[in-house]
Structures are given as structure tokens and as C-alpha cells.
Amino acid sequence: MDDRQAIERPRARLFVEDTLACDARPMLAPGQAHYLSHVLRLGAGATVALFNGRDGEWQARITEAGGGRCAVVVERCVRAQCDGADLWLVFAPVKRAPIALIAAKATELGVAALWPVFTRHTAVSRVNVGRLRANAIEAAEQCGRLDVPAIIEPVRFAEMMAGWPPDRRLVVCDETGRAPPIAEALSGAARLPKGGGKWALLVGPEGGFTRSELDALGKLPFVTRVGLGPRILRADTAALAGLACWQAIIGDWRQRGEPE
């Protein structure tokens, strides 16, 4: 049996915190152990795929399962770590269902970080960062990413503006109807002098940005305003649509290749 045949297609792909290397025995969280042994009913000898955002993806084998425990030993690296596009999604927090959707879909769409920012018209007053991270981990496990987007600590709009890293371009989804169309604006922005390839997409709340927020954004040299067509999009739709267009025009969807 040659090496290629020995790589099995595992039924589960899990994110772990521990270091992954040959013969490592990373800890699985209780929920992961339950999932493997009781939901998927995998026993000793079955394989799982593991990644931790740093060491690539590894094949591991279950050595012991049952009674709420599941132990694994890491066998071999199946994919080397590689980073995706450096794109943040900065968004006004919304209610529980759409914010979970934003976290999951933005992860699939390859964002490096999720940053909830409270604008003037934001209707919710707090964000469950732990739940956002759980949504992102679950989506990362399923979509084949080698990392999980960072969740940046929620702040108010003014603080975001004050601390914005000037080498990161900020693409603002502008629903006033006065911004250039997104494909035109991003094609133009992609030709700008390189800023290290750092980007962010900013999406406002259902009530939109205030005039003063838009004015403040308009004064910044690293801001590109983009329009998303004639219909009124929900905040989550605008976020996902903006990310998809960015990946298609500027990001890693421009390359051909086998799925990761």
C-alpha cells in the first residue's frame, strides 16, 4: 500500500487549539468527543481531520472512544498551512439569527477577521463574542479552511475610526445610491498602489449610516465607497454580497485550482 492510498477521507473535520504534529495527542473538547463517538458513532481506528489555524491540516486516528471521551493520535500532515486573503468584515451587529448567518457565511467567504462595530443606528446593544466564534469555527470546519477568522473586540464607530490602521483599505457599502457600482469601484481600487493587500469591508445597520458617519468615512484616504444596486438589501445580504464581489474581483476567487 503506497502513501497515497493510506490517506483516508475522514468523516469529520475539527478545529482544535493544541499543536498538531506527528504523534501529538491533542485534547478534544467534550462536545467534539460527543460528536465523534455518539453522533457519527466513530470508534477506535477511525480517522478524523484536525486543524488549528497554525499547523496545516492533519489526519488523526481515534485510539479510544466512548463514555463521553474520545482520544486521538495525530498521524500525518495532509495539507500545509496557507493563509487566505487579508480581508476583515466590519459590520454593525444585528439580531441573533442574522448575526449567526453573517459569521458563518463570512467564514465560508474567506474573511480573516470579523469586527462588530456599533454605529449610531445599530439596534442591538451587545454582541455575544463567544457565540460568534463558535459560529465561525463550525463554518471553518465545514468549508475546508485552515484557519478560523479572528473576532475583534466590539467597539463604537468613533473608536473604530480613531484606531483604523491606515494601511488597510476600507470598502464601505453605501446604500445612499450615490456610490460607484461595486464592480467598477473594486476594479479601480485593485489597481491602486499596493497597501500590503490589507482590506476591510464595512456594512452598516438596517437603518443605514448617519450623514455624519458617512461624512467622517468620506474624509479618509483609505476609504472606497461602493454601491450594491437599486434594491434595499438587508444588512446580512449586503455583507455577503459585498464579500462575494470582493473575492471574485480582488481576492482568492480569481485563481483557478482544485478546492482546498
- Name the residue nearer to a copy of itself (CB basis): 72 or 139: 139
- Name the residue nearer to a copy of itself (CB basis): 101 or 223: 101
For residue 21, CA distances in Å to 43, 95, 144, 148, 227 come to: 22, 40, 19, 19, 46
Task: Burial-class residue 45 by CB neighbours within 10 Å (0-12, 13-18, 19+).
Answer: exposed
d(CA 254, CA 240): 17
Site string for a copy of itself, 52-81 (x = CB under 8 A): ------------------------------
The SS3 of residue 134 is helix
Q: Interface with a copy of itself includes 163 (CB under 8 A)?
A: no
* Contacts (CB under 8 A) with a copy of itself, residues 104-133: 105, 108-110
- Name the residue nearer to a copy of itself (CB basis): 187 or 212: 187
Stretch that binds a copy of itself, among 57-65, 157-165, 194-202, 245-253 (CB under 8 A): 245-253
Site string for a copy of itself, 207-236 (x = CB under 8 A): --------------------xxxxxxxx--
Contacts of 144 (CB under 8 A, 6+ apart): 13, 259, 260
Q: Which three cell numbers stand for residue 123?
A: 439596534
Name the helix (H) or strand (E) containing 240.
helix 235-249
User: Do 228 and 86 form a contact (C-beta atoms < 8 A)?
Assistant: no
Site string for a copy of itself, 169-188 (x = CB under 8 A): ------xxxxxxxxxx----
Q: How far is the CB of 4 from a copy of itself (least distance, A)?
A: 18
d(CA 145, CA 26): 19
User: Do 44 and 64 form a contact (C-beta atoms < 8 A)?
Assistant: yes
- Name the residue nearer to a copy of itself (CB basis): 142 or 212: 142
Give the footprint of a copy of itself on this chain (CB under 8 A): 101, 105, 108-110, 142-145, 175-184, 227-234, 237, 240-245, 247-249, 251-260
